[in-house]
């Protein structure tokens, strides 16, 4: 398994086990959009990493985007509640992935917006992780 896959698995397991999020979306956390998924749900979006080597330590800063999807009639309220739950589940979460060593996990951005269809609300949560490979 790669470090990137191990980090995604760690986040997936955390989201699936976080009671406040499960209360809002059930077990609807997916690795990419699902045409048949019932809203609200969460998907993994874009990810990237940059090298962050120091002295004799090989490291990286990896960013994973978590997308939130809602079609509730209450404006952006449901989407904001879900993005807040994702943020609370992941910000400063400490755990050991199966590959690499997680130094720190931080949520660095939360955004909620209207989707182009003007029905769907789209939330974005960017998670930044410092990792020793």
What's the fold here for domain 3-132?
STM4215-like (3.30.2000)
Higher pLDDT, 36 or 109: 109
Q: Retrieve residue 94's tokens.
A: 């400490």
Report the alpha-carbon distance of residue 8 to residue 94 in Å, rounded.
Answer: 14
Domain ranges for the chain: 3-132
- Please state at what angle helix 3-17 crosses helix 77-90, rounded to 10 degrees: 120
Q: What percent of the chain has pLDDT over 90?
A: 89
Q: Mind listing the pLDDT tens digit for each residue in 26-71?
A: 999 999 877 889 999 999 999 999 998 888 889 999 999 999 999 9
Length of the chain: 133
| Across 81-103, average pLDDT | 97
**Rg for the chain (alpha carbons), in Å?**
15
């Amino acid at each position: 398994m790669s470090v990137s896959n191990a980090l995604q698995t760690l986040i997936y397991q955390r989201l699936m086990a976080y009671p406040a999020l499960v209360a809002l979306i059930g077990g609807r956390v997916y690795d990419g959009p699902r045409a048949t998924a019932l809203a609200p749900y969460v998907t993994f979006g874009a990810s990237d990493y940059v090298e962050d080597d120091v002295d004799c330590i090989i490291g990286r800063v990896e960013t994973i985007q978590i997308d939130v999807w809602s079609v509730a009639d209450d404006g952006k309220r449901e989407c904001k509640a879900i993005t807040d739950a994702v943020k609370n589940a992941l910000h400063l979460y400490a755990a050991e992935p199966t590959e690499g060593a997680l130094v720190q996990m931080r949520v660095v951005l939360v955004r909620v917006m209207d989707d182009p269809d003007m029905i769907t609300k789209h939330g974005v949560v960017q998670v930044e992780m410092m990792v020793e490979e």
